[in-house]
Chain A
Amino acid sequence: MKVKIWGCRGSLPAPGPENVIYGGNTSCVQITHGDTFIVLDAGSGIQRLGKYMNPNVKEIHILLTHLHIDHMMGLGFFLPLYDPEVKVHIWGPDSGKESLLGNLRRYFSPPLFPVTFSELPHHPVIHELSQNTFSLGGLTIYTDYLCHPGATLGYRITDGKSTVAYIPDHELGLGSSNFPHDPEWTSGYEIAKAADLLLHDAAYNSKEYSTKIGWGHSSVRDTIGFAKMCKVKKLALFHHEPTRSDEQINHLLDTSLRNQDLDFEVIMCAEGDVFEF
């Protein structure tokens, strides 16, 4: 299983000379395993993925965690959607009321976007998810709802040997009791437990989080505590604030790891990172 990061910025694209290390594109992660091609979220990073991906891929599964704009703003610019030889599946959360297709059409229609689904060579195949386990090729995928405003899923993807957990938007501070000591009462635990790689929201430092409770995101400190509780092997901190420069992200990591005795690796996720298992 190969994982490549095409965007790990949160909320808003943040291009600029101060953001060359971690990149400015919003959430998009490519996972490949044999012939199986999965894209986690369709943030602005999916535009470059579509441009540079293997042209021989004829079936693509886009797994959306939720429909906040930073996770789907790139969808209309994903070139394979316009290729008649490519079949695209879009998987996303069952919100309980409006259908996933209905919600996606709100973006794929004027005035937000000039092209509608019916104008594409093939209408994407839509799959609604809640708490589910399903297979794509040789990969098994487990999903469940997470603590974040609106219907939001996390994805746990395993090839039988290795596991990647993807939780880009998640508020641990609200979605848990007695944190970080009680896995049974912690949102996202079943997604992340014992993962070889956990990609997890770490938008804020602790001081920032105290003024943004309820906004749906976690502090670096909480995310490290969560990774420790879940006994992951590697933690890649995700959803960098759009206002945060490379220098500030490095500083945040340094200060967060000071005086920590961890038995797993912690990194700040960067656009272009590749993880192979």
Chain B
Amino acid sequence: MPAQPLELILARQFGDSLNMPVFLVDTEGNLLFYNEPAEEIFGLRFNETGGMRLEEWATIFKPVDVDGNPLPPEGLPLVKTLTTRIPASGSFYIDNMKGERYFISVTSVPVIGRANRYSGAMAMFWKTASI
């Protein structure tokens, strides 16, 4: 497997050092890394799952509205950022692998390095409440 671009390596290091949930995706939306605080929201451990392809983690991370209805992917901040390469934010509920429901606020930013190299996106979460 080729090495990741420096910007993603450093973004992972940054995320790993934060006490707020972070995850990092490549330009295709494949999940490259999530940190320890994000493990609680996912209900999974990164050391056990490693990175995940988009179709895999999309089945784990289920965004829903207040009534539990699935939200369309195109409305999610990270999907918007991957599509437009600009920051996005939003709040919604998610159901995780343990059957827990969290209300979270998400801000996502594109990872654009020197020479305008676009490498993916980083999402930071604020867990507002667990339901």
- For B33, list chain A residues within 8 Å (CB): 177
Task: Name the contact of A176 in the complex, choosing from B1, B9, B116, B117 (C-beta under 8 A).
Answer: B9
Asked if A175 meets B10 with Cβ closer than 8 Å, knowing A131-B117, A151-B114, the reply is yes
Interface residues of B in 94-131 (CB under 8 A from A): 113-117
Asked if A146 meets B6 with Cβ closer than 8 Å, knowing A174-B13, A177-B16, A185-B12, the reply is yes
Residue on B with the closest CB to A150?
B114
Bound CA–CA A183/B9 (angstroms): 11
Task: Name the contact of A145 in the complex, choosing from B1, B13, B16, B114 (C-beta under 8 A).
Answer: B114
Bound CA–CA A195/B5 (angstroms): 20
A175 contacts B9, C-beta separation under 8 Å: yes
User: How many residues of chain B are within 8 Å of chain A by beta carbon?
Assistant: 17
Which of A50-58, A90-98, A244-252, A263-271 participates in binding chain B? A90-98
How many contacts A-B (CB < 8 Å)? Answer: 57
A145 contacts B113, C-beta separation under 8 Å: yes
B112 to chain A, nearest CB (A): 9
B2 contacts A184, C-beta separation under 8 Å: yes
- For B2, list chain A residues within 8 Å (CB): 184, 190
Task: Name the contact of B5 in the complex, choosing from A131, A177, A183 (C-beta under 8 A).
Answer: A131
Bound CA–CA A95/B3 (angstroms): 21
- For B16, list chain A residues within 8 Å (CB): 177
Q: How large is the interface on A (under 10, 10 to 19, 20 to 34, 35 or more residues)?
A: 20 to 34
Main DSSP-derived SS at the A contact region: loop
Query: Residues of B with Cβ closer than 8 Å to A?
Result: 1-6, 9-10, 12-13, 16, 33, 113-117
Beyond A151-B114, A185-B9, A185-B12, 15 additional contacts (C-beta under 8 Å) are A95-B114, A96-B113, A96-B115, A130-B114, A130-B117, A131-B115, A144-B6, A147-B9, A175-B10, A175-B13, A176-B9, A177-B9, A187-B3, A187-B9, A190-B2
Show 30 residue pairs from A and B whose CB-CB distance is below 8 angstroms, ordered by the A residue: A93-B114, A95-B114, A96-B114, A130-B114, A130-B117, A131-B115, A131-B117, A144-B5, A144-B6, A145-B5, A146-B6, A147-B9, A147-B10, A151-B114, A174-B10, A175-B6, A175-B9, A175-B13, A176-B13, A177-B12, A177-B16, A177-B33, A183-B3, A184-B1, A184-B3, A184-B4, A185-B3, A185-B4, A185-B9, A190-B3
